[in-house]
Amino acid sequence: MCGIAGYTHSAADPDQSLIRRMTATITHRGPDQQGTYQSRGIALGAVRLQVIDLDGGEQPVRSGIESEDGQTVIVYNGEIYNFRELRRELESLGHKFRSDCDTEVALRAFLEWDTASFARLRGMFAMAIWSERDQRLVLARDRLGIKPLYIRRLGEHLVFGSELKVLFEHPDVTRCLDAAALSDFLSLLYVPGPRTLVEGIEKLPSGHYLEWRDGTSNLVSYWNLKFAPDSSITEDDARTELDRLLRESVREELVSDVPLGVWSSGGIDSSTLLHYAAELGANPIKTFSIGFESKSSDESPYFREIARIYGTEHHEFELNRNSEIVSAIEDFAFYSDEPGADAGALPVWFLSKMSRRNVTVALSGEGGDELFGGYLTYRADALARGLRAVPRVCRKAALAAAHRLLPASDEKIGFEYKLKRGIEGSLLNPDEAHLFWNGAFSREQKEAIAPQLPVHDLRRLSAGLPSAHEIGFLNRYLLLDQQYYLQDNLLCKVDRMSMAHSLEVRPPLLDHRIVEFAARLPERLKIDGARQKVILKSLMRHKLPASILGRKKAGLDIPAHEWFRGPLLPLFEQTLNERAVRGTGLFDYAAIRRLLDDHKSRRINAGYQLWALLTLFLWLRKWGIEVGRPAVMAAIVA
């Protein structure tokens, strides 16, 4: 696992130290080795975390001065799980290898098949390949967006890197807040690609490559997931195929020249990975888990049970109000690139920190919910369709009564929270409601706290999706979540928090063959009435204990509502002081105070909204992001 940096230029005498400074900003992604390459048109940098071929995988990797193509150079971040299979094929075609690393395989695959090589790669990656002969740059990103790649266009030239801070080091990259992206951030808790919170900086879309030559760039898709549910697929056939795919994916992702473990929540996704890892002989297995003193967030009975069953070398950490949570949150501003508004970032931070003391690689269960229908939001979508038959005036009255009669609790997702959120969502159109279930601020709340922000219609995110008539309501929202929530929130969070501690995290459920398999399944094999993740539970019925299969969905998340009435309250009030808030020219301080007061007095549960605001203002302060007026920076920093 690594981090990359680079920029194109036409300077006769370029700054020789710039690429080294850019690369130095991400040494946490690769503490084991740093390298650069510079020529008349390009500067490339890489940092390396040694995972495969510990002695021979230094970057950048060059094809060789005397090779038939001239000099081609690659910097690369990720893991290609089928690299040995590809290597054998390339050797049969006459390629000679100097190392045993997957980076060189990616380079020689490109030399053989050019951009068609990306579709041959199984894994997670972001890479930059430069051809000195053609003065041609190609940037590519994996199918699911597991590994990040940011781009800034500067006239005819490009600046790019694994994290925003790489680009910030370039003297021509400005740090201005994108107001439309901020509007999305408040509605979703993340910024949907290709935008970022910094104006002009984009994420390279997943499953795409960008080709640059002579100041002109061209963006091309090499993979596009198509939902084509096949009603003829039986449960027996689906179970057999999923078993084969999971075993193959876990087998490939267990390959490592350094210690490896499994993140375990005691849920079905991580327990499934643990089962296959054990079945494939990965013993003794190290497992890592986070517990909480708050019962509504704690999963310790489940992950302890599964660790006992498989006899793992188990490690756990209890995240409570006495942990170093404030200092960790303040560190987020540096490591998270954009505000870590998913409150699950905090436990992932501590999980990564604990894991790295024992292993360099960890398997994680990201993707299972988005592939097989594991979230409560999918059931909320179905319930809301029925609820909309009730006259709107009655639903509004019911919502008002719920707020009046049901005080907010400290539970993470209690009955009253689900009831109020459900009724409120039913007042929106179905697409907006689905995004709202996982979002932070309602439209009214956003308009109150940030009246100067532009209106940014979220319905554009679903505008290009197949209709529910074509693929079904559930599949439509699974596809929406895979394109945005999974990529721009969950995977981003895991990448930044793990790489902050130089830990590589692999998600075997997001092998693209499993993703394509799930897209072919009929909806009844995902959700059937109150049954969720039907096919995965069917497969694991005789492999995992009933207590694991039958438990309620929890999610790795802090008790945000409770902690913003306790240990996080002083940090919030200090960070969002009146001068800092008013200084932005975008936020209404009185409205934010009302939101906080309503939360403290238990009129509402606003823990997730308060977390989003806290991480946003810490990030603005850390990076000196210009919000629009000269006085802003002084106000926020103060």
pTM: 0.94
Residues 145 and 276 in one domain: no
Determine the pLDDT at residue 618. 95
Least confident of 196-205, 283-292, 295-304, 607-616: 295-304
Q: What would the pLDDT profile of 45-69 be if each residue is shown by its tens digit?
A: 999 888 876 666 788 988 864 444 5
Average confidence (pLDDT) over 441-469? 88
pLDDT computed for residue 64 by the predictor? 65
Mean pLDDT of the chain: 91
Number of domains in the chain: 3
134 and 205 both lie in a single domain: yes
Q: Is residue 391 part of a domain?
A: no
- pLDDT in the model for residue 630: 38
Q: Judge contact between 52 and 93, C-beta under 8 A.
A: no
Whether residue 194 is preceded by a cis peptide bond, meaning omega within 30 degrees of 0, is: yes
Domain boundary among 549, 584, 613: 549
Confidence of residue 219 (pLDDT cuts 50, 70, 90): very high
Asked, for residue 200, whether it belongs to a domain, the answer is yes
432, part of any domain: no
pLDDT over 90 percentage in the chain: 73
CATH of the domain at 360: 3.40.50.620
* Residue range(s) defining the domain that contains residue 250: 235-373+473-549
| Amino acid identity, position 516 | E
| Beta-carbon count within 10 A of 230 CB | 11
Q: List all residues 6 or more positions away from 335 whose beta carbon is below 8 Å from its beta carbon.
A: 28, 496, 497, 499, 500
Are 97 and 209 in a shared domain?
yes
Give 634's pLDDT tier (boundaries 50, 70, 90).
very low
Domain identity same for 526 and 622: no
Tens-digit pLDDT profile for residues 225-264: 999 999 999 999 999 999 999 999 999 999 888 889 999 9
Cα 79 versus chain centre, distance: 17
pLDDT at 473 over 60: yes
Helices (H) and strands (E) in the chain, counts: 29, 19
Residue 10 lies in a domain: yes
| Residue 295 or residue 18, greater confidence | 18
pLDDT at residue 53 in the model: 61
Domain for residue 421, yes or no? no
Q: Are residues 299 and 168 in the same domain?
A: no
The reply to whether 202 and 336 lie within a common domain is no
CB neighbours of 274 closer than 8 A, spacing ≥ 6?
A: 262, 264, 285, 287, 306, 310, 312
Query: Is the domain of 156 the same as that of 28?
Result: yes
The continuous run of DSSP H or E covering 538 comes out as helix 534-540
**Is 382 a member of any domain?**
no
Percentages (nearest 5) of helix, strand, coil residues in the chain: 45, 15, 40
Q: 112-165 pLDDT, tens per residue?
A: 999 999 999 999 999 999 999 999 999 999 999 999 999 999 999 999 999 999
Among the listed ranges 51-55, 200-204, 480-484, 569-573, which one has the minimum average pLDDT value?
51-55
Q: Would 19 be classed as within a structural domain?
A: yes
Handedness of CA 490, 279, 287, 30 (dihedral sign): negative
Give the model's pLDDT for residue 632. 41
Q: What pLDDT, on a 0 to 100 scale, did the predictor assign at position 111?
A: 95
Of 549, 577, 603, which closes a domain?
549
Does residue 3 surpass a pLDDT of 80?
yes
Instruction: Tell me the sheet residues that pair with 47.
Output: 3, 34
| 211 and 90 share one domain | yes
Do residue 36 and residue 142 come from a single domain? yes
The H-or-E segment that residue 102 falls in is: helix 102-113
Span 552-564, average pLDDT? 84
- Same domain? For 95 and 156 the reply is yes
| 304-360 pLDDT per residue, tens | 999 999 999 999 998 887 778 999 999 988 998 888 778 899 999 999 999 999 999
Question: pLDDT grade, residue 635 (50/70/90)?
Answer: very low
Average pLDDT over residues 448-459: 86
- Domain assignment present for 380: no
Does 531 lie in the same domain as 568? no
CB 237 within 8 A of CB 535: no
Q: Is 6 in the same domain as 120? A: yes
Q: In angstroms, how far apart are the furthest CA atoms of the chain?
A: 78
Distance CA 123, CA 141 (A): 10
Please compute the mean of the pLDDT values over residues 468-491 and round it to a whole number. 95
> What does the pLDDT look like over 377-435, one tens digit per residue?
999 999 999 999 999 999 999 999 988 888 887 777 778 888 988 999 999 989 999 99
Token pair of 239, please? 């179970």
Q: What mean pLDDT comes out for the span 352-374? A: 96
Which of these three, 549, 574, 596, is where a domain ends?
Answer: 549
Provide the CATH number for the domain around residue 11.
Answer: 3.60.20.10
**Which runs of E-coded beta strand occur in 81-174?**
123-131, 136-141, 150-154, 157-161
pLDDT at 69: 54
Closest CA to 148 of 125, 170, 174: 125
Q: Phi/psi zone of residue 70: left (φ > 0), alpha (ψ -120 to 50 degrees), beta? A: left
> How open is the CA angle 277-278-280, to the nearest 5 degrees?
65
Q: Which pair of tokens denotes residue 307?
A: 């660790």
